[in-house]
Structure 1
Amino acid sequence: MYGFKIVDKLQKIEQDIHRNQLNYHQRRVLVSKEFTFDAAHHLHDYEGKCKNLHGHTYKVIFGISGYNDSRGLMIDFGDIKEIWKNEIDIHLDHRYLNETLPLMNTTAENIVVWIYEKMADALQNLDYKGARVEFVRLYETPTSYAEARLEWMDCE
């Protein structure tokens, strides 16, 4: 046997744990959330297969940092999902990227910066303490990705 034990009693707020005990620390932490989308595009001024219309199943990974609130939460994962769904994914999933994104060559390098900017702008509208985008990684294939990082975005 593994010593599995069913919980005798669930903790209750203000009875077993007090609100001032919910947040364990005051340090910056990073949370990450992943999404996928399917899209078509083609590249301009490029000699290779990607100059032709083709598609990918992209994967996006966000790294968002900030400070915990009194409950011990830095950001609600559901809020990240809502930003993705309402502000970013609507321009990407099952779309022709050359048509739905701003005028650009739809390389992974350009798209990842656009995604970074959209998430950074959206976070400014939420009331999370010090929340910022640390990185966005965009996989175009399972083994190829482009990345945008805070230190690169702020120093330009």
Structure 2
Amino acid sequence: MSTIRITKQFSFETGHALYGYDGKCKNVHGHSYKLSVTVIGNPITDKTNVKYGMVIDFGDLKKIVKSEIVDRFDHATVFNKNTPHIELAKELEKRDHNVILVEYQPTSENMVVDFSEKIKSRLPNHIKLHSLKLQETESSFAEWYASDQEPQE
């Protein structure tokens, strides 16, 4: 039985600001993010299953990622709730803006870790999250690999 990796790509627009940062990203700004989600598993061998030959239906993976990531983060602004940005967030929320408050500095690195946890919690038991690639700009991205997360001995 072959082990196969399946990848689906997603796009969404999200704003953020990095509190305490010493560069331009301390200002509220946005990105056209591209997220590549790769899962790994064995194709279904039961010929009576409507998903015979698939590791996971691309549509099923899409539903998971859309509900956990894309629908939540698209056209939202992300702030670390443990910073003075909380005041700006409250003001934006009063004006009916979509604001997401997180426990971390909203860098691509931290966002990709957050996304990995959200996606893993929704995958069927026989499918594992292999990797994520979160592209922030045309030339900058963060990657998460399951194999890198295993404890080092």
Query: Normalising TM by the smaller chain, what interval?
Result: 0.7 to 0.9
In structure 1, the partner of 2:61 is 80
How do residues 1-156 of structure 1 correspond to structure 2 at under 5 angstroms?
A: 26-70=1-45, 71-98=52-79, 99-123=99-123, 126=124, 130-155=126-151
TM-score normalized by structure 2? 0.78
CA contact (8 A) 1:88 1:115 kept: yes
Deviation at 1:144, TM superposition (A): 0.3
SS for the counterpart of 1:37 is strand
Q: Distance in 2 between matches of 1:53 and 1:108?
A: 15
CA contact (8 A) 1:30 1:65 kept: yes
- 2:36 maps to a residue whose letter is I
Question: 135-144 or 98-107: which moved more?
Answer: 98-107
Q: Distance in 2 between matches of 1:110 and 1:91?
A: 16
Question: 34-43 or 93-102: which moved more?
Answer: 93-102
In structure 1, the partner of 2:84 is none
SS for the counterpart of 1:155 is coil
SS for the counterpart of 2:115 is helix
CA contact (8 A) 2:10 2:70 kept: no
Deviation at 1:101, TM superposition (A): 4.6
Q: Distance in 2 between matches of 1:77 and 1:147?
A: 21
Q: Distance in 1 between matches of 2:151 and 2:114?
A: 17
SS for the counterpart of 2:122 is helix
Question: 88-97 or 26-35: which moved more?
Answer: 88-97
- 5+ residue gaps, structure 2: 46-51, 80-98
CA contact (8 A) 2:36 2:132 kept: yes
Q: Distance in 1 between matches of 2:133 and 2:104?
A: 19
CA contact (8 A) 1:91 1:101 kept: no
Identity within the alignment, %: 35
SS for the counterpart of 1:97 is strand
Deviation at 1:93, TM superposition (A): 0.4
How many pairs align? 127
SS for the counterpart of 1:34 is strand
- Residues 33-58 of structure 1 show CA distances to partners (whole Å, capped at 9, x for unaligned) of 00000010000221100000000000
